[in-house]
Every structure is written in C-alpha cells, then in structure tokens.
Structure 1
Amino acid sequence: MTQPLFWGNIEATEKETIMQYKLLATMASGLEALTAREIRDLGFDEQTDNGKVYFQGDEKAIAKANVWLRTADRVKIIVGQFTATTFDELFEGVKALPWDQYLPLDAAFPVEGRSVRSKLHSEPDVQAITKKAIVDKLATVYHRRGRLAETGKTYPLEVSILRDVATLTIDTTGPSLFKRGYRIAKGEAPLKENFAAALVMLTNWHPDMPFVDPTTGSGTIPIETALWGLNIAPGLQRHFAFENFAFMAPQVLQDVKDEALDAADFDRELDIQGFDLDPKMIEIAQENAKQAGLGQTIRFKQLAVKDNRLDNDQHGVLVSNPPYGKRLGELDAARTLYREMGQVYGDLTNWSRYILTADLEFEKAFGHKATKRRKLYNGTIRTDYFQFWAQRRH
C-alpha cells in the first residue's frame, strides 16, 4: 500500500480531539508555485506536485483555503490512497477507508472516476466499483441492508487512479474557486478569475504602483488586481460544498470570513485602470467591478490601444490578455494589434509589461524581445506570458 504525504487524516491530542485532514489544492498547470506560496502565507507547510499542492490542517484550514486561495481551483480532503491494479484491490482498498467518519447514513455521495496510465483504465467501472465499496462499508457500519437512501446533504467524491495508485477525495469547494461571485456579465472569451489573479501575481506589481490593463474586456484582471491590492479574500461572496458537511462546525466559515473582513484594507488608495475599444465591454467591466464592491476603486475607460499614452516618468505595471487570433482569418487582425502595442508600449522603460497570447510569434509583431517567457495554459489553450521588465530603479 502506498502512503501519501502527511499520512493520517484524523489525529487526536490528549487534551481534546482535533481533526487533522490531509488536504489537496488543485490548480492549472504552471501555477503550482503560486498556490504553494499562498498556502505557506496562510501558515501551512506544503508539498508540491504537478497540478497539486498538499498540506494538512483542521476544519478552519479547509475554510481558510477555500476563502483565501486566489489561484487554486479546488480544495479536497484526501480520505485515502493505495495501490490498485485489479478491481478486487480497488474494492477492498476503498471499503477499508473510514467513510463513516465523513459520511452520515443519509449522505448523497456522487462519485466521479478518473484513470490515467493505469491498468484499471475503464473509468465507468472504476466509478461503479468505488461507489459499491462505499455503500458496503456504510451499510456494514450502520447495520443497514439494501440500498442507501442518499436523501441527505451532498458529499462530492472522486476516485482518481494515476499510475495504478488510487486516491479517494472529498471535494470541499463545490463550484470551482474561480467563481468568485462578482462576474455577472462577460465577453466572448473571458479569463477565469483565478487565472487572471495568477497573471497579476506573476508580476512585480505592488499597491503603490499604477496598474493598467489596455485590453480589459469584462474587467477581470483589474478586479483581481484590486482584490489582491486591498487584501480582500476572493471567497468572501460565495458558498462552499463543505458548509453542508456534518463533520464541519457551522460557525467555522463565518469565523474565517469575519477574520478576512478584518484583514482587508478597504481604505487603501489604488491606481488601477482598464481600457477597451468596445464601449459595451467597458459597461460590463464597470458592472462587474461594482458587484465586487470596487466600483469606486477601478477606473474603466473606452480607449483604443493606439491612443493610449502612459506616463513613463512613473514606474508601473501593464498586464494584457489581447485577442489571440485563434479563429480563421483573425490572426492578421491580432498581429496588427500587437504591432500597435509595440509602438505604444515597447519603449516604456519604466513600466513592466506582461502580455499573454497563444501566438508564439508575438515578439515579431510587437517588435521587441521579451525579458522572459513563461508557458501557461488558459484552459486547454497553450499560451506564453511574454514579460518585458522595466529598468531597475536607481
């Protein structure tokens, strides 16, 4: 049997019982270091793998991670992990786990199955056998016969088999963490909120610097910048799956949100601007910022890239997610925009400029060579984050 990192989901002290869970945060490929840093900043030790960051904590850790993580997708509890090369091994391994410590008798527990590079490659069979094993375990513990009613609260479960190692998890998040709750409208190809936050966190911006997004669309990048700059937890406005879990104390989430409100610096003045050529997108961006409580914090304005003049006497940061030109006939238009960006922003030596695009020939159109390129995935699209660093201050 393979033991995972931080093995031992539930521990007890002599004075009082403190539930300690092995937790797993998932994120887009390439963002692991950012999420790991966020988890360390929350006060937890972490260990990082591809698309995953492991850490350990109690009920409050579950709530804090969901409320505070800007770049992650989900926070999961790892119930157990073991090697399974046959369906019998899978069934017995799942049944041996302490499901009764998590699931009440009436729990609804949908099971999702995934299998990658494993002998048990049929995901429907993996899912069905896992479900049956959990039912058998609960029926044995609760002394029930036949099917379980599953009329109670929902506990989303996943069985993931990677290279013959099965990992059983409970999703504490529900809808992905990128769904902050403020975006009531969007454009054709909006960035996910957590990906936008990651783009900002990969820059050298800090709250006393001006920030500009010249192709703002629905305003996600400036909004995420403002949330970060004001230290506003991204999960303040939303609900989570763990709120319905029997083993989670109801007051935990409210306590964490109260602490997050106390930590926010609502009075801090920020210089954040978002521009777009489309006046309808500016209206959408303003509505989204208002919904986020940032209507007076961010300035949005209809403005074409070619007409945008920034003050090079300031040291600022520019982040842009321009059109990629992925559709037939659109690449020429996108590269025309890139050339305009190069003409307007290329010589801003006091500004750090960060531009995300799937066009790997971007530098030719922009007319300048990037200081650094970072490979990221915007959903399933391979993109490069072209970074043009400002000259150092003297």
Structure 2
Amino acid sequence: MPTLFDPIRLGAIEAPNRILMAPLTRARAGRDAVPTPIMAEYYAQRASAGLIISEATGISREGLGWPYAPGLWNVAQVEGWRPVTEAVHQAGGRIVAQLWHMGRLVHSSLGEAQPVSASALTAPGQAHTYDGKQDYEKPRPLALEDIPRVIEDYARAARNALAAGFDGVQIHAANGYLVDQFLRDGSNQRDDDYGGSIENRARLLDEVTEAIIAEVGPDRTAVRLSPNGETQGVIDSDPATLFSHVARVLSARRIAFLELREPGPNGTFGAADQPAVSPVIRPLFDGPLVLNQDYSLERAEEVLANGTADAIAFGRPFLANPDLPARLRTRSPLNDDDMATWYAQGPRGYTDYPTLAA
C-alpha cells in the first residue's frame, strides 16, 4: 500500500512524494497582478512538496477580485512568474498554476466592470478590496456570446503558464467561484445550454477543460472541485449526482489528476453540512485522486492506505512549515501559522518561518 512518502505520477509530472501543497492565496503580488521577487523565495522554500499548486491566479482583469493576487493574462505577469518557477525548479520542485475566475465574487473596483456569473444572484457577505470590505454587487449573467471569450481567457492563461515555466495548470472549479457558480444549482438558474440539467451546468467546465487541453495537453491539466456543502453562497441540492457526472466527464478527458476539497471534520475551518462525495467519485475517475481539507498525518495515512485517495493536498500546514514533508516523515512538531499575516504584504508570516534545519 502506498504511503505519503512514495512517489506518484501525476500526468506528465513525476512527484517524489504524495504530499501536495494546496493552493493558498497570499496577496504578495503587485496591484498590477505581477508577481514580486519575494514570491520566488516563498515557493522555493516549499519545493520539497511532491507538487506545488500555486495560489489562485487570475485569467483576466474581469476575473480577478482579490487585492494583491497575481495574474497570468499579460507579458509582464509571465515575466514576473518566471523567477518563481525557476527558483522552484532549482530547488528540485515542481509547480503548476491554478487558473482562477472569481465570477460574482469580483468587486467592480478590482474587475473594472460589473461582475459576471451564471445568473444574476448576488453573493452573500462582502468582498475584499483595496478600500476595505465592501458588499458584493449584483452580477450580470454571462451572455452566450461572452462564453467563448471567457474560455479563450482560460486557454491564454494556460499558454502563458507554460511560457512562464510552470509544469502544468489546474482549473479552479471550486469554492464558489465562476465555474462552481455554473456547476451548482443554488447559483445557476439559467434556462439555456449552460443551465438546468446537470449536463448543461457542467458544460462550461468541460469546454474550459477541452480548450486548456488543446494548449497544454491532458497530462498537464488538472481540476479542483469542492463537492461539499455551501461555499460562499454556492450549494447544490444533489451533489453526489452532479459531481458523479463531472467525474465521468473529466475522466474521459484523461486529465492529470483531480483534486477535491472535502468537508472538513466538525469544528475545523472547512466543516460542512453535506457528506463527502469522494467515495462516490473514486470509482468513476480513472486518474489520480487528491483529497484536501484539514488532513492530519494520521488521517492522511489512513485514506492512502485504504485506497480512498492517491495523494493529499495540505494547505495551512504549509504556511508555517516550508519543510512540511520532512516534519511529517519525522513526526516532528509543526509551527503554528499567524492568521494576521495570511494576506499581508512583506516577509512576516511569509518567508520567515523556521525549518527543522534552522
């Protein structure tokens, strides 16, 4: 039976262990969404992960609504990412870019226009902006004639990711963002080819996946889903049936791997009121299955041993433990992360956490 420390092939990527670094928004880019030099140091510190999945990275100005988050839609951003990927590779690591369109969660002060979504339903809560938190705005439904443009934005970002030196890309189809807004019936009230039936609601994800595969190949394309309870106002009435269909579609595309953000255990950050769908998805997806959400070492070892997953993506433990694989292997204590520095600028709480060797 495999362990966390055994190698695994993820499409074109040979990962030396099954401890993946989950995507973690850190807000250290510039206002122009260009990566900054400190990001190279941060990612290189974590190169011992089997694979790094980058922080969510905007595919367009329209789709990026988080202050100081990076993008991949122009030449300056590609050039800004190159030192990051080079530093990771020089440290012996592998890194893929997570491609992000936030949909209705983009405030117009960042996206420079009215936000778009599957339907004209306003998200609950408030958006992070450069002027503090502001109420989310009512989105306009993405028009049929706009959908090819958005798909091309994904394809262009995938091309740019390879030009920037990434080893592949992951489509962010989770957590209540644009693709997830189309997938789940709580946020999709359309009556056209992209709404109504499960097949229609999954159409955008399938077309985005097809377009990206045409650019980078299926073995460098991955997808992240969140088949759990309510996330940023997005929920589905029948997640097992919906995500079973999605798993079959993605399996037929032969993508490199599928990552699932599961409901976390009670009392944790990602606790949800719907049961995990991964047991249903497991037999339907032929490629490597990666699970994420508040996994301890013991729980991770258990799901790998019983075949529930092929690898585990760790998120917050990687914030404060750049050498997380070594700490897990030696069962060493973990550093505690500082929530106040998650989205702050500068090195504090970013590149200053000690390693076992320090």
Give me the TM-score of the superposition, normalised by structure 2.
0.28
Structure (1 or 2) with the larger CA radius of gyration: 1
Relative to total residues, which structure has the larger strand share, 1 or 2?
A: 1
Give me the TM-score of the superposition, normalised by structure 1.
0.26
RCO comparison, higher one (Cα < 8 Å, 6+) = 2
